[in-house]
Structure formats: structure tokens, C-alpha cells
Amino acid sequence: MQRGTFQLMKSVNKSIILNKIRTSEPISRAQIAKETGITPPTVSSIVKELMEQGLVTESALGHSSGGRKPTMLHINSGAFYVIGVDAGPETVECILTDLTGEIFHRTSSLLKKPLTNEQFISVLKENIYTILRLSNANQEKIIGIGIAMHGVVDVDTGTSLVAPILHLTNVPIKEALEEEFGFTVKVENDARAMALGESWFGGHGDDGSMVAVNIGRGVGAGVVMNGKLYHGAHGIAGEFGHMIVDVNGDTCECGNRGCLQTVISGPAIAERGKKRITDSDARLTAKELFDLAQNGSEACIDLFRETGRMIGIGLINFIHLINPKKIVLGGGVMKSEKFMMPVILETIRQRALTAEAKQTKVAVTQLGDDATLLGAVSLLLIELFDPV
């Protein structure tokens, strides 16, 4: 879908009617008017436009307490598609979904480092072109491309300001991809995108205040307040991994010493494991250390329990600063939740300031490895369903 068309659809959807249908379907026009306070003629007029756009369909008649039975409204999930991209730091992954997040096609490429800005953008383009070839979808039905990008992002310009693990700066992602494909492109920090995806697809009900933490090759977080991403004054809100926990600690890729990322990321766990597993000459990955823990290695079990304690300390800081209703954990490191989660929860119970804070919900994402990809998709969906 070309950018001008998308802007037209956004203007149609500035009211809350489309989102009301999405969250309450099947629902009648009369019920929409009753629950939103919008007059019935206005509801009917807007629904007519939404049906003309192909976003809303009618189904069989609903129940009536008297008089004519109402027709029920639904979101036409297959009417449009979204391309979602998880960009770095190890791979570029790309999916095509419908409006419900159902994945139809996917691609993946390894990022070979070192690489330049141009090479990075080239990998993004290759994956998007592959998705377009696989899908054979009418490109007028693709509402845009969402990019979940490692590092610090200027969301207004769609520029990757700093991608520390990739050693890239000032990558004009939005400009390059909109020029290449003609679609609307939204770029967001990967952890913040994951947080929005959790809010959108994670089955958390009306939990409008939540934090999502992504712990993998790097460590980041996203904060959702009242259904909206919080960016902070200068766009760096949620840099959970760069919370300094030891001023005399190891040097982080950001240049500071003692960042939380130097303790709990996958590479940090591998480095700490190397010092503890004295009977192996090979450098073990975090996954291999987890396999050893699964097989009963007490040294590895202790390693993951200690990691869980440090994650818990980081989360306590977040709870005391933000006081979210729920925290969702994702990323490759959380596949070791068996050993870490009990310690994480116990650390929070021991250190939280109030009884209520001790009860903060903490859970591992149910979206699995697709959490960030679906977050990228949600960047377009929230523009479509809730543009205000």
C-alpha cells in the first residue's frame, strides 16, 4: 500500500471505532455507539467507510431483546498484510503477517561483520524482496514495513543512531526503505517493539502498564503506558542493559563499566561460564552451558541462578522507578527460565519496598522467538487501529 493511501486510511480511523471492533468483535453498531458514546449515525457512517476500505466485515445476525436482530461486525483480518523485520544484532529476520499477526512467510539472513551502513541496508532490502516474491500478495494490500532495530533509534526520522554491537551509526533505515519500496516504514528499538508486540498480541488483557525486557545478545526493555510506548525526552528510555550495577565491573560495548548487560547477556554468561568450567578447553556458549545445567552440572546451575539474581536486582530497580503492573521477559537467555525464574521472583520478593510491589507480575513471553518480529508488525497496526 502506497504511503498516501495509508495516510488516507489513518484519517478514516482517527476515531476509536475500528479499535473497538478489534477488541470486542463480534459487536453491533448499536453496541459500539453505547460503549463509546459516539452517536449511532456517526458510527454507521464510519463503519460504512471501514467496510468500503475492506477492514470490516459483517456476519450473521446477533441476538435481539426485541425488534430487528442486529448484524455483527468483525475485523477482516485477511484484508491487509504487514511486513515485520527484526534487524540485528546477529541476524535479520523478516515475516509477512495478516492483521491478527498470523505468519504466512518468513526469511532470515546472518549478518557478517564488520559491515557498513550500506551493506546493512542491503541485507534488509534482500529479505524484504524475498518476502515479496514468496507471498505473491497484491502489494496494495501491504500496509507497511515495521523494523525492530538493535540499539538507539530516532523514531521520528526512522534512523538508527547507534547500533553498538554492529558498530554502526546514523543508518537512514526509513528513508532508504521508503525510497526503495514505496511503503510506509516505521522503525523502533527492538526491545520497545517487543513491548508493544506483547501489549498487542501477548494476551495480557487490559494491562495498560507493562514492561517487556529482551535478554539475548544484548539487553533492552520497552515501557508501555496506557497502551502507548514511552520513549523518554531523548528517545533512550528502556536501556535496561546499560543500567550500571558495578562501577568497577567489566567494560560494556557502550564504553561504560559495569553495565547490567556485562553480567546477564548471552555472551556475558558464556564468559562467566568459561571461568567456572575448568575441565573444558573449549569456549562454551550460553546455550551449551544451559545444556550442561540440564544434565546436572552444579557449576552451571549456580551460574544461571546467579544470573537470575542479577536480573531480579535489575527488575527491582525498574519496579521502583516505573511501578509497572506486569513485566514480560523474552530473548534467548530466558530459555533458561527453569533455573532463573525462581531466583528472579525470590529476589523481587526479598527486595521490593512494599507488599504490593512484591506482587508485580513477572512472566516469560508466550510469543517465543517471534516476540520481537510481532512487535515490528505491531508498529504498523497501532498506526492503523489507534493513530491518535
In angstroms, the CA 351 to CA 100 distance is: 39
138-152, 166-180, 193-207: the lowest-pLDDT one: 193-207
Largest CA distance in the chain: 80
Q: What is the mean pLDDT of the chain?
A: 87
Of residues 280 and 242, more confidence is placed in: 242
Quickly state the pLDDT bin for 311 (edges 50, 70, 90): very high
Tens digit of pLDDT for each residue in 78-96? 888 999 999 978 899 999 9
pLDDT given for residue 82 in this prediction: 95
pLDDT given for residue 14 in this prediction: 45
Average pLDDT rounded to a whole number, residues 101-109:
93
C-alpha cell at 30: 448499536
Pairing outcome for strands 152-154 and 159-163:
antiparallel
What lies within 8 Å, CB to CB, of 157 at 6+ separation is: 172, 174, 175
Instruction: Report all structural domains of the chain as residue ranges with CATH numbers, in order of start.
Output: 3-75 (1.10.10.10), 81-196+372-385 (3.30.420.40), 204-365 (3.30.420.40)
pLDDT given for residue 131 in this prediction: 95
Percent of the chain exceeding pLDDT 70 equals 90
The dihedral sign for the CA sequence 153, 185, 56, 95:
negative
Give the three-class secondary structure for 190: helix
Cis peptide before 387 (omega within 30 of 0): no
CB 278 within 8 A of CB 251: no
Q: Give me the helix-helix angle, 40-53 and 17-24, nearest 10°.
A: 80
In angstroms, the CA 265 to CA 125 distance is: 29
Average pLDDT rounded to a whole number, residues 148-176:
93
pLDDT given for residue 147 in this prediction: 97
pLDDT at 205 over 80: no
CB 95 within 8 A of CB 84: yes
* pTM of the predicted model as reported, rounded to 2 decimal places: 0.81
